[in-house]
Chain A
Amino acid sequence: MTAISIQKEEGASARALRPRRHKPLAGGVSPWLLPVALLLLWQGGGALGWIPPTILPNPADVLAAAWKLTQSGELAQNIEVSALRAATGFLIGGGFGFALGLANGLSRLSADLTDTTLQMVRNIPHLALVPLVILWFGIDEEAKLFLVALGVFFPIYINTLHGVRNVDPQLIEMGRSYGMSRSDLFGRIIFPGALPSIFVGIRYGLGVMWLTLIVAETIAANSGIGYMAMHAREFMRVDVVVFAILVYALFGKLADSTARFLERLCLSWNPAYRSLSQ
């Protein structure tokens, strides 16, 4: 047997070892079957009078409300305000979390100085600060940004720290022995090694971001999707309230999909992510 045919067999066995995945229904329809069925049930229930419109208006009514809000420009404006708040808060909180996570993962001194304090603060539910934040900032933009940034900070901090600390020490030893400089060691081994964990933090942080924003906007705001919902409640416009909730759901999904897309792009070396994207 020649060496070349040995290689071919090795390749084949490596392929056979990859986990098998079920074939999704035509064009990735399967994830949407359940939401569509629920929607049909909802519309049907409303039309047959099982669900009173004051409790839950028909999907068609919600759609009509959405159309009206779109036409008046109110929706676009509120979405813009909310999205800007979410993004700014996320960048501030995520940026600090990432920076401190890296610093504490790489430097024993930095971890000794700050980690205990951060772990204490982490155990305070950040939404418990709402009354304090209103007293500090009123209902201005700072209040929302502060809450979102605080909420996003911890998942990103914890996961960045965890990622950096759990980079395979054997690879770091190899890098040192092969003469990598400190910056090379970081750029070629530590950061890429921590990246899967950092992405977990980002996805989790995005969830916290929406949650915090919804709470902050319903309690203390005069613009944004959450405010739109609270305002509609005062006029018993259940259709607008339901629509606002749907907008949040859509935006949450959109943010998560973006993060997953980036994850697949950056982690294509990892067989788990690669087989998902192919």
Chain B
Amino acid sequence: MSHAPATIPDVSRQDRLGLPLNARHISKAFGETSVLSNLDVFVPAGQFLAIVGRSGCGKSTLLRLLADLDQPDAGEITLGHGVDRRVQTRVMFQEPRLLPWARVLPNVEVGLGADGRTPKGRERARLALASVGLGSRAQDWPSILSGGQRQRVALARALVSRPRLLALDEPLGALDALTRIEMQKLLEQAWLRLGFTAILVTHDVAEALTLADRIVMIEDGKISLDLCIDTPRPRRRGAVELARLEEQILSYLLREDAHEPDYVI
């Protein structure tokens, strides 16, 4: 990671990758249970949006719809103008989901699709791997990497094709605290340089505050809070204003009337 900044090439202002994402009136139900109902969200090009909420609130469902992993029951989602969302979107899952039978470099090449096996694709994969600080592990099996290293390979795989939209489904949730801070830095760096639109689902409000431009909270299938975070970057961990915001968001999330129990013990 020590040489990471040098190897993610800077993208000039007008070449920034991000496209606006627009979701209108989307609904999703699983059987009888409605998870999202008539939800609207617009994400401007290049914005880093964090989606927070209690577990089971539908935030992962929303991300899966936005990333084209699932189809909404109703509503429409567009990325830019007439862009194939599947092609231009990359997803980082909670688990690295590396192919255990492929070495590290071919795993990154997966991100390039059919171009991955051309000499040019291989070179791009090599650069992407170097940019997450794992250039020397190209020929290792994923099974001998640590959890954090695997997630870094997954990040390289997600970014190698220069996606317009990066969807992150709690990708740092399973990492230890130190590795998580490292990964957050790496992620922020890549986002600042490439300028893709990013959507991060997380249950960790502090993480959302470190990374995001904007935080939305999902409750009962709807957006209950939409908050712009304009604190300048790089954000200092434990800074007073972030701590105050975290406290506000958490107390809103835990407010008395939010989840009235059906009975009291």
Closest to A171 in B: B97
Asked if A181 contacts B114 (CB within 8 A), the reply is yes
Q: B104 to nearest A CB, angstroms?
A: 11
B146 within 8 A of A: yes
Contacting residue for B2 out of A2, A184, A274, CB 8 A: A2
Asked whether any CB of chain A lies closer than 8 Å to the CB of B83, the reply is: no
Interface of A is mostly: helix
Of the candidates B1, B113, B182, the one whose C-beta lies within 8 Å of that of A178 is B113
Neighbour of B69 across the interface among A173, A184, A193, A267, CB < 8 A: A173
- How many whole Å from A271's CB to the nearest CB in chain B? 5
| Contact of B149 with A269 in the complex, beta carbons under 8 Å | no
Tell me the complex Cα distance, A194–B120, Å. Answer: 31
- A1-36: CB near B (< 8 Å → 1, else 0) gives 011101100110111000000000000000000000
| Cβ distance A233 to chain B, nearest Cβ, rounded Å | 49
Cβ proximity bits B114-146 to A, threshold 8 Å, 1 near / 0 not: 100000000000000000010000000101111
**Is the CB–CB distance between A4 and B113 below 8 Å?**
no
Interface contact A177-B146, CB-CB below 8 Å: no
Q: A7-B149, A171-B97, A189-B99 are in contact. Are A180 and B113 (CB under 8 A)?
A: yes
Residues of B within 8 A of A192 (CB): 99, 101-102
Interface size for chain A: under 10, 10 to 19, 20 to 34, or 35 or more residues?
Answer: 20 to 34
Contact B99 A271 (CB under 8 A): no
A-B contact pairs, 22 of them (CB 8 A): A2-B2, A3-B133, A3-B182, A4-B2, A7-B149, A10-B148, A14-B144, A170-B95, A171-B97, A173-B97, A174-B93, A177-B68, A178-B90, A178-B111, A178-B113, A192-B101, A193-B101, A267-B101, A269-B101, A269-B141, A270-B101, A274-B141
Across-interface contacts of A171 in B (CB, < 8 A): 97, 99
Q: Is B26 an interface residue (CB 8 A)?
A: no
Q: Is B51 an interface residue (CB 8 A)?
A: no
Contacts of B149 in A (CB 8 A): 7, 10
CA distance A213 to B23 in the complex (A): 65
Q: Does B74 count as interface, using CB distance less than 8 angstroms?
A: no
User: Counting CB contacts under 8 A, is A49 at the interface?
Assistant: no
Asked if B86 is at the interface (CB within 8 A of a chain A CB), the reply is: yes
C-alpha spacing A188/B109, complex, angstroms: 12
Q: Is the CB of A270 within 8 A of B68?
A: no
B99 touches A14 (CB 8 A): no
Give the chain A neighbours of B99 by CB distance below 8 A.
Answer: 171, 188-189, 192
A-B contacts besides A6-B178, A270-B143, 19 pairs, CB < 8 Å: A3-B1, A6-B182, A10-B146, A10-B149, A11-B144, A170-B95, A173-B69, A174-B93, A175-B110, A177-B69, A177-B89, A178-B90, A178-B110, A178-B111, A179-B87, A180-B113, A267-B101, A270-B100, A271-B141
Assess whether A188 is in contact with B146, with CB atoms less than 8 Å apart.
no
List, in ascending order, chain A residues with CB within 8 A of B182's CB. Answer: 3, 6
A44 to B143, CA, bound (A): 51
Q: How far is the CB of B26 from chain A (nearest CB, A)?
A: 19
Most chain-B Cβ atoms within 10 A of its Cβ — which of A179, A193, A270?
A179
Q: A170-B97, A181-B114 are in contact. Are A269 and B1 (CB under 8 A)?
A: no
Contacts from A to B (Cβ < 8 Å) = 2-4, 6-7, 10-11, 13-15, 170-171, 173-175, 177-181, 184, 188-189, 192-193, 195, 267, 269-271, 274
B68-108 CB mask vs A (1 if < 8 Å, else 0) is 11000000000000000011011101010101111100000
- A177 pairs with B102, CB closer than 8 A: no
Which one, A170, A177, A179, contacts B67 given CB within 8 A?
A: A177
Chain A residues contacting B68 (CB-CB under 8 Å) are 177
Closest to B141 in A: A269
Residues B86 and A179 in contact, CB atoms below 8 Å apart: yes
Contacts of A173 in B (CB 8 A): 69, 97
Query: Are A271 and B146 in touch, CB under 8 angstroms?
Result: no
Q: Mark interface residues in B1-27 (1 if CB within 8 Å of A CB, else 0).
A: 110000000000000000000000000
Bound: A188/B141 CA distance, A? 15
| Residues of B contacting A174 in the complex (Cβ-Cβ under 8 angstroms) | 91, 93, 97
Q: Verify A14–B86 contact, CB threshold 8 A.
A: no
Please indicate the chain B residues that have their CB under 8 angstroms from the CB of A2 in the complex: 2
Q: Report B212 CB to chain A, min CB distance, Å.
A: 23
Contacts of B143 in A (CB 8 A): 269-271
Q: Is the CB of B93 within 8 A of A170?
A: yes
Q: Across the interface, which residues of B come within 8 angstroms of A7, CB to CB? A: 1, 133, 149
| A179 x B2 contact (CB < 8 A) | no
Chain A residues in 8 Å Cβ range of B90: 177-178
Residue of A nearest to B87 (CB): A179
Instruction: Enumerate the 3 nearest inter-chain pairs by beta-carbon distance, A residue then B residue, closest first.
Output: A10-B146, A3-B1, A192-B101
Expressed in whole angstroms, the minimum distance between the Cβ of B88 and any Cβ of chain A is 10
